[in-house]
Amino acid sequence: MRIKVEELAALVHGTVEGDGKAYINNYAKIEEASDGCLTFLANPKYTHFIYTTQATAVLVRNDFVPEQPVKATMIRVEDPYETLAHLLNMVSAQAPEKKGIEQPVFTGEGTQVPVDAYIGAFAYIGANVTMGKNVKIYPQVYVGDNVTLGDDVILYPGVKVYHGCKIGNRCIVHAGSVIGGDGFGFAPKGDGTYEKIAQIGIVVLEDDVEIGSNTTIDRATMGATVIKRGVKLDNLIQIAHNVEIGESTVMAAQVGVAGSTKIGKHNMVGGQVGFSGHITVGDNNGIGAQSGIPNSVGSNQRILGTPGINALDFARQNVYFKRLPEMMSDIKALKKDIQELKKEK
């Protein structure tokens, strides 16, 4: 890629401040960029780097006001992060697409592979699998019987999709993830052992879902575990049986959601959050990292801590927690004074 700054700015409807004739040939983080690189400033924490960056051009917000001279050419846009994502997707789209069927590959009876599909070596595709257009199945993927794959689905190496599961259009599942393993269902018996409960449901991923590496989504005991349209799950997440996750909810790594919990739409969930089973979570919540959610939660809340509480209340509690040693010293001093007063009586 080699493009003039002014040409790139025209692609993203940006305004150039500086040398529009300079050339861009790479992308880099603002603190690591060198000559010829395009970078961006979206997080105020990184503002100081704009005065020292060696990048040729920097994407900044329309309302950004520098406090010092900026050597790099600035391209003013509405949202630098969103603009960068758009540009990176354009670059990615130029990469050669995988096509054809490598060998060896197993394809079960009743499965038709579309002519525009890519199937990597050592993939196993079961019987009566339905595939949409432009599906990409990378090496060592397992797709069980009666699975449905929509258009433009990508299954990266080592993904396992168990029988009967349904994956919608434009879904991406990264390496090592398991879709449709058995839910954790065991009935206690009188002798202290456990009897396995058959898990006869499926997993449904609606359109535009992306699943990170080594994430597991369990099939329902009955019915379906459902990941709604536009959900983005990070690496190493556990979604239990009969869970529902609402549209455009995002979850960072190591989140765990216990069985039959229903999570609404547009939630943002930090890393290592744990949800108890059989609860409901509303819409538009922000849940901070390592929070524990034992009970149902409404909508439009900011939650931190274990058990999760309002973020402002959590911050106040944290202030008191930091003062505990001082408060204990004060209490000990008060007890001593009280004892002395009792002696005087």
Tell me if 145 sits within 8 A of 126, measured CB to CB: yes
What single letter denotes the amino acid at residue 131?
A: M
For residue 11, the SS3 value is: helix
CA distance 289 to 297: 16
CA–CA distance, 292 with 238 (Å, rounded to integer):
15
Q: In terms of Cα–Cα distance, which of 170, 171, 172, 176 is closest to 157? A: 176
Non-local CB neighbours of 87 within 8 Å, separated by 6+ positions: 8, 11, 12, 27, 38
Helix, strand and coil content of the chain, in percent to the nearest 5, comes to: 20, 30, 55
Rounded Cα gap, residues 126 and 160, in angstroms: 12
The H or E element that residue 316 is part of is helix 311-322
∠ CA 183-189-190, nearest 5°, is: 165
* Structure tokens belonging to residue 285: 């919540």
Residue 186 class from Cβ within 10 Å (0-12 exposed, 13-18 middle, 19+ buried)?
exposed
Active-site amino acid positions: 241
